[in-house]
């Protein structure tokens, strides 16, 4: 645990270095595509601490100067499967984005969707030494959280304090400076499998890039696709990706739950391919051109030529009606949404004050999906598109880029995580000079 803690701190230092240099890259490693954005920061003056999150979530401080996307290779279920292939795809995307930006990037913030994310709610409680809460007390209360045993091959991806309470007063955003006898904190811990992270780190390292941050893509999609009051009042963002469907639940501007369903748009494509006996490429194409989930009478008459290149005329002249295509797609989409429903129910989404559900990701572009989703997930369903950020090319403003844009916002304005607070003095390694300094400061 301490290793990751240190490496997360190191990534934060990398991020700071990158901001000082003014350029940072965003890498969204997905199953279907790998997107790379190059951000240029014009300086910290544009978003000050005192402004809070600021207008447009503070993303006015950066500008997208390079954007590239390439077909993902060697990635399945949001996890890297064939390292060499993925490394090449990352290289392709990064190089194209660098070329567009005309600038070299050394630091990259990455997100991925797979690796079995699992959420834990942690609680910690301490008695305050003196009655005023200080920064060190926050660190102590976070350190006092009892960490569940999540297995030895799991790593903590996010550990965000979501709530503080002093004595009986709960719902505090920032307890520092307040008075009380005891301080308790709720923390949301997101763990993922170690192996996919290791693979991703290796690929990024092979591309001569420094990792300046890691995020879950469900979280990043939630940042960009949910508007501010949705984040405040409680909502779920469902990121329908290629290999996985990520979901993240937000309330009071904090993510409190995240999970992933390992079914996505690629499975729909595979269903079409198998059902109609056509190549995957054709299946993908007719899915994007003619796909849907609600069939009407008109669709029985709309014939789609699915073709083939066997030379057999009868085989190559096959057609299907759009209704048949919808008949293949709909059960799979329903399955995805029902899985999501099950996860949301398990997470207790029903208890949130507002239960807005936002569908985003490339899969959310299926026509009629919002109608189907509202039948399965509840009435408050809308389709979400990522926030508009400066300089983002028109072609990258679609819902498929929700997590890329969210990651850009994350890069500009990361939420406080556990490792952003000072290390409590009793956790310092022995014979640390800092510890001595700390001791002096505490006692004199």
Partner 1 sequence: MRSEPGFRGAGSRTPSPGAGDVPEAGWSGPDWAPFRGPEPEEDDIWVEAPDEDALLEPLGDNAEVWNEPDWTEPEHSGPGWAGPGAVSLEPAAAETGRAPRRQAGRRGLRGLFGAHTSDEERRDPAPSRLAYKMERLWLRPGLRRLVRIGLPMAACAMAASWYFSDETRRAEVASYVVTTRDWVQQRPEFMVEMLAVDGASPELTQAVREATQVDLPLSSFDLDLDRMRADIEALSAVREAQLRVRPGGVLQIEVSEREPALVWRSRKGLSLLDSEGVRIAGIEERGDWPALPLIAGDGANDAITEAMNLVAAAQPLQERFRGLVRMGERRWDVVLDRGQRIMLPESQPAQVLERLIALDEAHKILERAVTRVDLRDPARPTLRVAAASIDQLRAIMAGSIQKVSE
Confirm or reject binding of residue 63 to partner 1 (CB under 8 A). Answer: no
The structure tokens listed for 170 are: 């709960």
Q: What angle do CA 61, 387, 349 make, to 5 degrees?
A: 120
Select from 50, 394, 433, 443 the one that contacts partner 1 (CB under 8 A): 394
Of 289 and 439, which has the nearer Cβ to partner 1?
289
145 sits in which H/E element? none
Residues 218-277 that bind partner 1 (CB under 8 A): none
N-to-C CA span, the chain:
32
Confirm or reject binding of residue 287 to partner 1 (CB under 8 A). Answer: yes
Select from 15, 33, 118, 343 the one that contacts partner 1 (CB under 8 A): 33
Cα–Cα distance between 27 and 86 in angstroms, integer? Answer: 12
CB count, 10 Å around CB of 286?
22
Confirm or reject binding of residue 166 to partner 1 (CB under 8 A). Answer: no
- Find the shortest distance in angstroms from Cβ 324 to partner 1: 15
What is the DSSP secondary structure assignment for residue 179, as one 8-state letter? Answer: B
Scanning 14-22, 156-164, 212-220, 393-401 for contacts with partner 1 by CB under 8 A, the matching segment is 393-401
Of 12 and 73, which has the nearer Cβ to partner 1?
73
Confirm or reject binding of residue 89 to partner 1 (CB under 8 A). Answer: yes
Q: CB–CB of 345/267 below 8 Å?
A: no
Scanning 46-54, 115-123, 206-214, 417-425 for contacts with partner 1 by CB under 8 A, the matching segment is 206-214
Confirm or reject binding of residue 311 to partner 1 (CB under 8 A). Answer: yes
The structure tokens listed for 308 are: 């083939």
Confirm or reject binding of residue 400 to partner 1 (CB under 8 A). Answer: yes
Confirm or reject binding of residue 297 to partner 1 (CB under 8 A). Answer: no
Total residues contacting partner 1 by CB under 8 A comes to 66
Three-state DSSP state, 310: coil
Cα–Cα distance between 115 and 151 in angstroms, integer? Answer: 14
- Find the shortest distance in angstroms from Cβ 66 to partner 1: 8
- Find the shortest distance in angstroms from Cβ 342 to partner 1: 23
**What b-and-e string marks burial along 191-212, b requiring 16 or more CB atoms within 10 Å of the CB?**
bbbeebbebbeebbeebebbbb
Confirm or reject binding of residue 205 to partner 1 (CB under 8 A). Answer: no
Q: Which residue has the tokens 């009655």?
A: 131
> Among 143, 123, 230, which residue's Cα sits nearest to residue 185?
123
Confirm or reject binding of residue 282 to partner 1 (CB under 8 A). Answer: yes
Cα–Cα distance between 392 and 400 in angstroms, integer? Answer: 13
Confirm or reject binding of residue 300 to partner 1 (CB under 8 A). Answer: no
Q: Pattern of binders to partner 1 over 317-336, x per CB under 8 A?
A: -----x--------------
Cα–Cα distance between 248 and 192 in angstroms, integer? Answer: 14
Residues that bind partner 1 (CB under 8 A): 33, 67-71, 73, 88-89, 91-96, 98-100, 102-104, 206-208, 279-282, 284-285, 287-292, 294, 296, 298, 302, 304-305, 307, 309, 311, 316, 322, 362, 364-371, 383, 385, 393-400
């Amino acid at each position: 645990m301490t290793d990751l803690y240190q490496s997360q701190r190191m990534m934060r230092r990398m991020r700071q270095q990158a901001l000082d240099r003014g350029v940072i890259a965003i890498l969204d490693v997905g199953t279907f595509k790998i997107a790379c954005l190059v951000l240029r920061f014009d300086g910290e003056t544009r978003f000050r601490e005192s402004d809070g999150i600021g207008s447009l979530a503070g993303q006015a401080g950066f500008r997208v100067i390079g954007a590239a996307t390439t077909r993902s290779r060697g990635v399945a279920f949001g996890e890297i499967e064939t390292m060499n292939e993925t490394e090449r795809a990352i290289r392709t995307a990064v190089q194209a984005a660098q070329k567009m930006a005309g600038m070299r990037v050394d630091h990259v913030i990455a997100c991925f969707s797979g690796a079995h994310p699992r959420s834990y709610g942690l609680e910690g409680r301490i008695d305050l030494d003196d009655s005023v809460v200080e920064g060190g007390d926050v660190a102590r209360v976070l350190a006092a959280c009892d960490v569940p045993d999540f297995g030895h091959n799991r790593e903590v991806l996010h550990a965000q304090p979501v709530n503080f309470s002093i004595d009986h007063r709960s719902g505090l955003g920032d307890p520092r400076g307040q008075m009380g006898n005891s301080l308790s904190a709720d923390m949301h811990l997101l763990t993922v499998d170690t192996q996919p992270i290791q693979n991703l780190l290796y690929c990024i390292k092979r591309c001569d890039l420094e990792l300046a941050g890691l995020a879950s893509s469900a979280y990043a999609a939630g940042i960009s696709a949910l508007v501010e009051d949705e984040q405040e009042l409680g909502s779920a963002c469902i990121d329908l990706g290629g290999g996985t469907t990520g979901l993240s639940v937000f309330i009071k501007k904090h993510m409190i739950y995240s999970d992933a369903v390992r079914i996505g748009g690629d499975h729909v494509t595979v269903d079409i391919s198998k059902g109609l006996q056509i190549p995957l490429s054709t299946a993908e194409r007719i899915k994007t051109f003619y796909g849907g989930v609600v069939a009407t009478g008109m669709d029985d008459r709309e014939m789609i030529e699915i073709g083939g290149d066997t030379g057999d005329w009868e085989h190559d002249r096959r057609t299907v009606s759009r209704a048949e295509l919808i008949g293949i797609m709909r059960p799979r989409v329903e399955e995805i949404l029902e899985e999501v429903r099950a996860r949301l129910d398990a997470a207790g989404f029903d208890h949130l004050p507002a239960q807005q559900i936002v569908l985003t990701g490339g899969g959310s572009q299926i026509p009629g999906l919002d109608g189907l989703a509202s039948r399965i997930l509840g009435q408050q369903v809308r389709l979400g598109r990522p926030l508009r950020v400066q300089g983002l090319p028109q072609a990258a403003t679609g819902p498929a880029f929700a997590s890329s844009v969210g990651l850009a916002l994350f890069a500009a304005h990361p939420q406080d995580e556990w490792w952003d607070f000072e290390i409590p003095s009793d956790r310092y390694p022995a014979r640390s000079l800092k510890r001595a300094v700390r001791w002096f400061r505490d006692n004199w």
